[in-house]
Structures are given as structure tokens and as C-alpha cells.
Structure 1
Amino acid sequence: MESSVWFTFFAASWAISLSPGPGAVAAMSAGLAHGFHRGYWLTAGLVLGIVTQLAIVAVGLGALMAASGVAFTVLKWLGVAYLVWLGVQQWRSDAAPLRDDAAPAVTTTRRALVLRGWAINAVNPKGTVFMLAVVPQFIDPQAPLALQYAAIGATLVFTDLVVMAGYTALAARVLAALRSPRHLRWMNRGFGALFVVAGALLATFKRA
């Protein structure tokens, strides 16, 4: 991949990561509930989901899914259901003060956070279709494909790690300053509503 092409993709990847979406909502929700150090484990799942999406596109399954109406619809509604379920869980969560990362009693494991992040990005046909539309523009079919996909994947992972760190820290350090049960209850409901809105928006997404 030529440097000029990579710099263009690098700029695009920042726009992709910064755009509000389920990943940003999930990162802020995790930061609010678990603090930065534990909540940031969800970002590991988010980037694994990105890698999964890129792998699907790289091996051609993304094109198959885009061509198959049934596969696209099934995956889309799985994603919708998962986001709505996250929203309901967040809405109903306890209005407990932010946990100390060093506290021994933690109800959500790091593995659970990673799996949640992975599912948010992996079970999302919008991400697959988006990559099908964007990634080929930066691929030179005459050059080794594996190295190009590796460069694209590393770029997406880097930018998402940085951006989601910002979202997680925002919730953990700024929103967590509001520690009263009333404030926390409304923040949980706010994040829950955002998950449901993200699910509703995904439900309206159609293949181009």
C-alpha cells in the first residue's frame, strides 16, 4: 500500500471511529459502570469485532452476505435484538456508585466485557456492508493482498483503541463525578435509551 493511499485511509479511519454509534455508547457505558481500567476491556472486544468484520470481507463472505437477502436480514435482526437487549439491561441496572477498579467484588468479568464488545461490532451487517464499500477503494489488486489487509486492520484497530479510550475515560472521569443514585439512574436510562435507538437505526438499514 502506497503511503499516500495509507494516509488517506488513516484519516478516514479516524472519522469512522469518532462517529457516534453502538461502540461509543458501549465504551461510555462500560467506563461509567466499571471505571477506565476495567471498562476499557470492552474496547478489546470492539477491536476484535472490527478484525472479524475485516476478515469476513477479506475472505469474500461479506460479498456473499451482501448478495443474500436472507443472510443479511437474519444478521441484521440479530444485531437489533442484541442492542435492544443491552439497552433494557442498562435501563434496569442498579444506580450504584462507580466501583473502584481495585475492589475485589466485581460482577462483570473482563471476559464478559470483551465478549460484549466483540458482539456489538461483529453482529452488525452495517459494518460488513460499510467495509465492502470502503475497503476495496484502498486495495491494489495487483499487490499482495495479505499485507494490505494487515495494514488496514492495524490502522482501524489503532484508531479505535485511541478513540474508545477517550469515550471510556470521558464516562469514567467526567460522568462518574455525578455519584448520587438519582444521577446514576438517569445516566443508566440515558445509555439504555441510546442502545435502543442504535438498534432502531440498525433496523432501518438496508443494503445499497
Structure 2
Amino acid sequence: MSFEFFLAFLLASVLISVSPGAGAVNTMSNGLRYGVRKSMPAILGLQLGYGAQVIIVGVGLGALLASSEIAFGLVKWLGAAYLVWLGYQKWRQEPLSLEAQQQQDVESGRRRFWQAAFVNLINPKATVFLVALFPQFIVADAPQLPQFLIMGGTLIIVDILVMVGYASLASKLSVWFKDPKHQKSQNRVFGGMFMAAGTALASYSRG
């Protein structure tokens, strides 16, 4: 991959990560409740799901999902249902005291990691997008594995930086959400956003 191609791919990676989506919603929700440092399990979970998507596309399964109505439909509805379920759970979540927040931070880091991983993993729109993106930057007569490694690594590094930025911005607003009423509003706002993301995913068409 030439330097000019890499710069173009880097720009595409930034635009992909900055664009609001389920991953950004997940990160902002965690940033508001837990702060930047304790949002890292969820951010890293997102990258596990993202990396899995890159591998799926790299080994050719992405093309299968893109061409098979049954496979695409199954993954699409699983992803949509999962996001709607996360939104429902967030909508019903009770406000936490500071002590309860600290206790949950210790106990639920692993749970938030896997929740975030599945947010990115069960997302056929991301798979189809990568299937469409990668061929634009692949040099056909050059070894493909190093190219996939460069592109996958770039996507993940950029996404980590962008998600840390989202969490930092959200954490600065956390003082407004210490009050139980504000927390309840926060939960319903982000719950609604998750459910909206799930609904949008369900209506997504490959055309």
C-alpha cells in the first residue's frame, strides 16, 4: 500500500469512527456513568468485536454474508434484537448512589467488555461496509495479509482514540448526572438511542 493510499484509508477510518453509531452510544453511556479510565473495558470490548469483523472479512466470510440473504438476515436480526434489548435494559436501569456506582465499577467491568464486544460483533452493516471498503485499497498483485494487517490495525487504533475522545467528552458532563432524576433521564436517553440503533439496523438494506 502506497503512502497516498494509506493516508486516504486513514481519513476513511477517522470518518467511520467519528460517525455516530452503536459503538459511540455505548462509549458515551459508559463515559457518563464511569469516567474515562473505567470506560476502557467497554472500549476494548468494542475493538474485540471490530477486530473480529476485520478477520471475518479477511478470510472471506464477509463476502458470504454480503451475498447470502439468509446469512445476512439472520445476523441482521440478531444484532438488531441485541441492541434493542440493551436499550430496554438501560431504559429500566435504576439510578445508582455513588457507593453503588463504585461497587458496580469493580463487579461489572467484564460484563461491560462483553456487551460492547457484541455490539460491534453482531453488526452486519459493519461487515458489508468493510467488504465494500477493503477492495478499494487492496493492491491485487501484492501480498494481501500485510495489507489486511495494516488496514485492520489502523481501523482499531483510530477507533480507540476516537472512543476515548467520546468518553472524555461524556465524562465532563457526569457532574450533571449525579442526581437520581438526572441519572434516570440519562438512562432513558441512552436506552432510547440504543433501541433506535437497533431499529435502524433492522431496517438496513444491502441495496
TM-score, normalisation: structure 1 = 0.94
Residue 177 of structure 1: aligned partner = 176
* Count of matched residue pairs: 207
Residue 11 of structure 2: aligned partner = 11
Q: What CA distance in whole angstroms lies between the structure 1 residues aligned with 2:103 and 2:84? A: 30
For structure 1, list consecutive stretches of 5 or more residues without a partner in the other structure: none
State the SS of the aligned residue for 1:159: helix
| 1:66 has 2:66 as partner | yes
Asked if the contact 2:91–2:188 (Cα under 8 Å) also holds between the matched residues in 1, the reply is yes
Runs of 4+ residues deviating >6 angstroms? none
Q: Which has the higher helix share?
A: 2
Deviation at 1:168, TM superposition (A): 1.2
Deviation at 1:38, TM superposition (A): 1.4
Deviation per CA, 1:50-104: give whole Å up to 9, x if none.
1111111111101111111111101000001100000011101111246698x45
Asked if the contact 2:47–2:117 (Cα under 8 Å) also holds between the matched residues in 1, the reply is yes
Residue 205 of structure 1: aligned partner = 204
Residue 130 of structure 1: aligned partner = 129
Residue 187 of structure 1: aligned partner = 186
Structure 1: which amino acid aligns with 2:123? N
Asked if the contact 1:57–1:128 (Cα under 8 Å) also holds between the matched residues in 2, the reply is yes
State the SS of the aligned residue for 2:79: helix
Distance 1:156 1:191, change over 3 A: same
Percent of aligned positions that are identical: 42
TM-score, normalisation: structure 2 = 0.94
Distance 1:83 1:176, change over 3 A: farther
Structure 2: which amino acid aligns with 1:205? Y
Distance 1:97 1:156, change over 3 A: farther
| 1:27 has 2:36 as partner | no
Asked if the contact 1:22–1:198 (Cα under 8 Å) also holds between the matched residues in 2, the reply is yes
Matches within 5 A, 1:85-124: 85-97=85-97, 103=102, 106=105, 108-124=107-123
Structure 1: which amino acid aligns with 2:197? A
For structure 2, list consecutive stretches of 5 or more residues without a partner in the other structure: none
Asked if the contact 1:90–1:189 (Cα under 8 Å) also holds between the matched residues in 2, the reply is yes
Deviation at 1:106, TM superposition (A): 3.6
